[in-house]
Amino acid sequence: MTDTVTDRFLRYVVIDTQSDPSSSTQPSTAKQKDLGQLLVTELLAIGLADAQMDEHGYVHATIPSNVKTPVPVICFCAHMDTAPDFTGTNVKPQVVRNYSGGDIRLTGDPQQVIRLRDNPALADQIGNDIITTDGTTLLGADDKAGIAEIVTAAQVLVDNPDIPHGKIKLLFTTDEEIGRGVDKVNIEKLGADFAYTVDGEAAGHIEDETFSADSVEIAIQGVAIHPGFAKGKMENAIKIAAAIVDRLPKDIAPETTEGREGFVHPTGITGSMEKATLNFIVRDFDEEGLAAKEEMLKELTKSVMQGYPGSIYTFEVKEQYRNMKTVLDRHPEVVENAVEAIRRAGMVPVRGSIRGGTDGSRLSFMGLPSANLFAGGHAFHSPLEWISRQDMEKAVSTIVELAKIWAERN
């Protein structure tokens, strides 16, 4: 097989793999298995004899060690699904060759423009080949770029047995975009010691920290009565819910925070005069900050409810994921080896934090310490998503160098 990383990427993105948060199955959409079957076929053709897809849609494969000394088993992981935020049906990837600068107007919808002012990273792409959509769908670089890079790196390692490396596990997951990416992963069966999700953004970045995340559901039981006889009696649950949202501090919202600042974000409001439900996500890099924001929301709710003495409410907090830095700080070699691999691949390493989470957040607390490597994509979850061929090639080189470094240092 002579596929380049770009060949693979262009082949993968046209397969619709959007996940569905309303589904109770895993995978949440059967179409994710269409990509899974293709990946199994390609991995077998490369020479990974144990490549298979399980009942949950996960694809597993192993690159056997080619060194005699013991080396920790590392896993490279990426997710097959794309976000439900914007359609991923009938993706038509476009390649802007030898990008000369400026804005990129998308051919399928001229109103969609990738503007340089909104994408300063484009300034570093002069002369490169930029892959976009036609403006009517998302692209799916999140995370089909990561998959293409891992599979291409696997082919490089198999085709070049002189490159020393230990045993390497490949894992491609389903439903990451709806928070279920590793729900069914059997860590013991996977058999890896450390892992890297290839799901980051700009070339050269390695991320060892995520938000800690919880969800909050507030269920309100109001007082329903015929509106013609409601004076002094009705307590409208919808209005109560709206009052809670209206009182949220403006300075701890996603649209007003950046860097290491956390937030409280309402994600849904449903109901009727009698009953209403509010859903929130709460994010912070520190456990103390997360707890403080939840306590603030609880006190705010209690204050609003005091004005509605006939109504009752429940306040439920559910853990989603935790900051993987807590685990990775106990295994500094995971990040140190990645930093050296990025340097050997010709880039200046940039360590950073993710204002979100990855499969690695959950894997770390399941017993598999995991950092997040760049995949090269930008403007995820939108029709303005883009990635460059050259950055994908840098990711392939980084993965290969990382495999070598683990063998060298052990």
The residues carrying an active-site annotation are 81, 176
Residues 6+ apart with CB under 8 A from 351: 205, 206, 207, 208, 335, 339
Residues 6+ apart with CB under 8 A from 216: 279, 280, 281, 282, 294, 297, 315, 316, 317, 318
143 upstream amide cis, omega within 30 of 0: yes
| Distance of alpha carbon 40 from alpha carbon 221, whole angstroms | 50
Ordered alpha helix ranges (H), 191-278: 237-246
Reported in sequence order, the residue ranges of 83-201 that DSSP labels E, i.e. its strands, are 94-96, 104-105, 113-114, 130-132, 168-173, 194-200
27 upstream amide cis, omega within 30 of 0: yes
Q: Which amino acid is at 401?
A: E
**Which run of H or of E encompasses 354?**
strand 350-354
**Which run of H or of E encompasses 145?**
helix 141-159
Specify whether the CB–CB gap between 140 and 17 falls below 8 A. Answer: yes
* Torsion from C-alpha of 230, 235, 236, 238, nearest 10 degrees: 170
Structure tokens at 357: 């989470």
Vertex 380: Cα angle to 377 and 381 (nearest 5): 150
β-sheet bridge partners, residue 119: none
| Distance of alpha carbon 381 from alpha carbon 94, whole angstroms | 17
Structure tokens at 387: 């990635």
